[in-house]
Structure 1
Amino acid sequence: MKSGFKNLRAVGYQTDVPYVALSDYCWSFSCPKPGAEVEFLDLTFQVMNSTGTIIQIDADIEQSIDMVANGTADITLVTARQTLDRMKKVDFTTPIGFVYYGYLVREIPEIAVADYIMGLFDYDTLAILISFGIIIGALVYLYTWIFDQRIRTIWDWMIISCSGIIRQFMFKISSPICALVIIGFWLWCCQVIITYYEAKLKSFLLLSHHRGTIFNTLDGVLEAAEHKGWTLVVQERGYTPYLWCNPEQCKRLDRLKSKTMIIGADDDMNLVISQDKHVGFSAVASDLAQSDITYFDFHSKIIFVRDKIMAPEYLAYAVNK
């Protein structure tokens, strides 16, 4: 786009605070506090020695790009992600920022986060450990009986070996070497398993990226929907998880359509997200999501959780080819 153009036509959302804050009463670049990206675009026009007007249509980003592509408009009023499909239709300016993908969810009390994490312990694993504890107890009893050093009943040995699972394996014994080897091996196995789960729990509970939420990846969200009764909330004209899901995740999303709620573009997402076990999908610019977890609406305790795997995408204005 060359300098010196007059009356460049911009089109985009009417309201998308804090980036666009226009209204029916004032819908132009001269409005007081029209929004950060509107002001930036107006300043750009001034630097280019150009002027611009705003087409008074409340158009979403796809509609805006189509209007720029067919010549109805010259530039988008707000920045957009640079996807391959969009690049086939329009050109883009130099990026002025980037956006993070993530999830909108009501803040979860820390005790609920802890309960959820404790629930991650595999009961099958616990059952196997107890089974092995019983077997180890029976073997120790057998060896002490063979070597005529039987000082406890088989029930006592089973209780003692199973108690090693919760690190309560404290007793003195004078047994044959083979029994001591089995006991030592069993203690080592218990120690490895206990250390693993303790480290996992500490990392979940102490790291800041899990305070107030039980997930920070799309896999975590899908797991919550599949097994924990969560509802996925998608807003029309908004972001959907299909924008960043891999093929396997997209298949899981297809299977979760019965647990997906579609709300209108004008509906209040916060009212829906504030319900128990509801999660929405969004993308927030870097200036609003400077940490892994950010308050999206402090009064409603709605937080934005950045996806820790997805890379941010650049934002730029779309212009005519």
Structure 2
Amino acid sequence: MKPGFEDLRAIGYQTDVPYVALSNYCWSFSCPKPGAEVEFLDLTFQVMNSTGTIIQIDADIEQSIDMVGNGSADITLVTARQTLDRMKKVDFTTPIGFVYYGYLVREIPEIAVADYIMRLFDYDTLAILISFGLIIGTLVYLYTWIFDKRIRSLWDWLMISCSGIVRQFMFKISSPICALVLIGFWLWCCQVIITYYEAKLKSFLLLSHHRGTIFNTLDGVLEAAEHKGWTLVVQERGYTPYLWCNPEQCKRLDRLKSK
């Protein structure tokens, strides 16, 4: 792997839950549950084969961009929206988090599903399969030893059971009872793994698309606030609709603000 950067300095909010959840007691990437954006940036550094630290200054997004622009910091802690004024101060990378979750999941779900399925079988799954192979092989060995029909060594049975799991039991053995034992444990193994990952996949697909509100656009928010009794709350020092509203939407926001 190519060498990356060392000690990149990240700057941003101290607290902007759920994106940033740092405190005076713990203000670093190693904090437990530091926030979604902090975790994502930490993973990005790992992919880049780089390391980074967080500057312990509670800076809003404009202050953060100014610090990156004058060299006091190297990168913002949270993903920043691109504007012409900001692009004159700093260079922008592709907002990976927004591209992946905002585009792939919502616009091309089959790509996200394929990517998710390809990454399912991690070390935990391999450990489960190997454990089942060892258990099945040992039990069959003990079974044949108890009934004095031991024609293979323990190592042979371990290899047979592991290969059977990988090949989905596409092999022949002489003892039908042993085959039943293998089939039983194989089905148990399949049930555990399939049930677990089916639940994870359903959770991934359903929760990411679940709509807990009657709107998913700024126009929908404005419509709900104007005519359906909703109250629009703007987070202090956070993202506001004024950052991306078009002229007509900004006028509607001004009318709501003046009420």
What TM-score bracket applies, with the shorter chain setting the length? 0.3 to 0.5
CA change 1:225–1:124 in 2 (3 A) is farther
Q: Compared with structure 1, are the counterparts of its residues 176 and 30 closer, same or farther at alpha carbon in structure 2 (3 Å cutoff)?
A: closer
Aligned to 2:28: 28
Q: Which moved more, 1:178-187 or 1:44-53?
A: 178-187
Q: Shift in Å at residue 162 of structure 1?
A: 79
Distance 1:166 1:48 in 2: 34
Q: Provide closer, same or farther for how the CA distance between residues 134 and 109 of structure 1 changes in structure 2, counting only shifts above 3 A.
A: same
SS in 1 for 2:233: strand
For residues 100-131 of structure 1, give each alpha carbon's deviation from its aligned partner in whole angstroms, at most 9, with x where no partner exists: 99999999999999999999999999999999
Counterpart contact for 1:215–1:221, Cα < 8 Å: yes
Take 2:51 and 2:181, find their aligned partners in 1: how far apart are those partners? 85
Deviation sequence 1:262-321 (CA, Å, 0-9, x none): xxxxxxxxxxxxxxxxxxxxxxxxxxxxxxxxxxxxxxxxxxxxxxxxxxxxxxxxxxx9
In 2, are the aligned partners of 1:110 and 1:211 still within 8 Å (CA)? no
Question: Which whole-Å CA distance do the structure 2 matches of 1:136 and 1:8 have between them?
Answer: 50
Q: In structure 2, do the counterparts of structure 1 residues 190 and 164 end up closer, same or farther at CA, with 3 Å as the change threshold?
A: farther
1:187–1:236 distance in 2 versus 1, CA, 3 Å = same
Partner of 1:278: none
Once the two structures are superposed, the pairs formed by residues 1-321 of structure 1 within 5 Å of their partners are 3-98=3-98, 217-226=217-226, 230-258=230-258
Cα pair 1:107 1:212 within 8 Å, conserved? no
| Separation of aligned partners in 2, 1:135 and 1:47 | 36
Gaps of 5+ in 1: 259-320
Secondary structure, aligned partner of 1:91? coil
Tell me: CA distance 1:32–1:184, structure 2 relative to 1, closer, same or farther (3 Å).
closer
Q: For structure 1, which segment, 174-183 or 16-25, has the greater mean C-alpha deviation from structure 2 after superposition?
A: 174-183
Distance 1:89 1:213, change over 3 A: same
Q: Please, which runs of 5 or more residues in structure 2 have no aligned partner?
A: none
1:117–1:14 CA distance, 2 compared to 1 (3 A):
closer
Q: Larger % of strand: which?
A: 1
CA root-mean-square deviation: 20.5
Change (3 A) 1:210 1:178: same
CA contact (8 A) 1:61 1:80 kept: yes
The alpha carbon displacement at 1:85 in A equals 2.6
| Local SS of the residue matching 1:239 | coil
Report how far residue 89 of structure 1 moved. 1.5
For residues 173 and 38 of structure 1, do their structure 2 counterparts lie closer, same or farther at Cα, with a shift above 3 Å needed? Answer: closer
Residues 115-159 of structure 1 show CA distances to partners (whole Å, capped at 9, x for unaligned) of 999999999999999999999999999999999999999999999
Identity of aligned residues (%): 93
- Once residues 46 and 152 of structure 1 are traced to their aligned partners in structure 2, the CA distance between those partners, rounded to angstroms, is 47
Q: Give, in angstroms, the shift of residue 220 of structure 1.
A: 4.7
Cα deviation for residue 240 of structure 1 reads 2.4
Displacement after TM superposition at 1:17 (Å):
3.8
**Which structure carries more helix by proportion?**
2
SS at match of 1:235: coil
Higher Cα radius of gyration: 1
* Per-residue Cα deviation, 1:25-76 (whole angstroms, up to 9, x for no partner): 1212233343343334334434545432211012222221111111111111
Check the 8 A contact 1:144/1:179 in 2, yes or no.
no
Give the TM-score taking structure 2 as reference length. 0.47
